[in-house]
Structure 1
């Protein structure tokens, strides 16, 4: 009956988001805790919710009985096929209640809505910075870990972000192309500047 009354008594103490049912709150709080209790027996990958594990496990199966009539791509799950076909149909069934922007995938809508709510659930363990999407946190953490997975084939310089590598590679063009509004240093590296709180540095 709460779904009709609008009552949402279960509130997340971390971000204030409220829910109609307790199990929805329990599932949501895993996002803050980082717990992923559902583990794939095939590859060890873990998930916060069981239905995500079930969908993932289909990727290990060779059986892909659901085929797209438009491009022939096959899928192990009918739900994934339905989602894929929106690429061809242009259907965008998920609408933002704040601005009306529409999306083909529900997870894209969820991410977009954080612009309106201000929710930034992915927090860096090393500094105060928070992010709306996990990918943003993953990239940022390279500032602290020193990981630089993008390697220049011409000179071996390494970078934490792909667009930094692409900007650097202009130096190897003939003639070299300087970055807009800036100059190369003597090794073609991007300059650094401190974060506003002075705790660490990042390339720009």
Structure 2
């Protein structure tokens, strides 16, 4: 049962706190400021993830080369370097790249 409807869209929520958090997507409210820079975040979890970038906290380590990353997604992207996987193809020439950034530079 989802008794809490969003007044702006069709989504419904089991808990009022979930509705309140969802409403920020409509209002743009960002109540969680970073104490080290000017950025603000809608969700506390996003602030905590951001804070790792300010420090030397790099809990995600590459098992092949030992390089550390602040985000799991960044480690996953890095692992493509070791695997040789190149999922991003140029629409014009077909050349493949391991990252969107490298594809964009091409």
Aligning the two structures, in what range does the TM-score lie when normalised by the shorter sequence?
0.7 to 0.9
Structure 1 pair 99–157 and aligned structure 2 pair: CA distance change class (3 A): closer
What's the CA shift for 1:66? 4.5
Structure 2, gaps ≥5 residues long:
none
**CA displacement 1:75-102 (0-9 Å, x = unmatched):** 4544443222112222222233445643
Matching residue of 1:151: 89
Cα distance in 2 for residues equivalent to 1:90 and 1:153: 35
TM-score, normalised via structure 2 length: 0.76
> Are 1:94 and 1:109, in contact at CA under 8 Å, matched by a contact in 2?
yes
- Aligned match for 1:112, one of 37, 40, 50: 50
Structure 1, gaps ≥5 residues long:
1-62, 169-204
What's the CA shift for 1:129? 1.2
Cα distance in 2 for residues equivalent to 1:129 and 1:139: 12
**CA displacement 1:40-98 (0-9 Å, x = unmatched):** xxxxxxxxxxxxxxxxxxxxxxx76654322x141454444322211222222223344
What's the CA shift for 1:149? 1.2
Aligned-residue Cα RMSD (Å) equals: 2.5
What's the CA shift for 1:121? 0.8
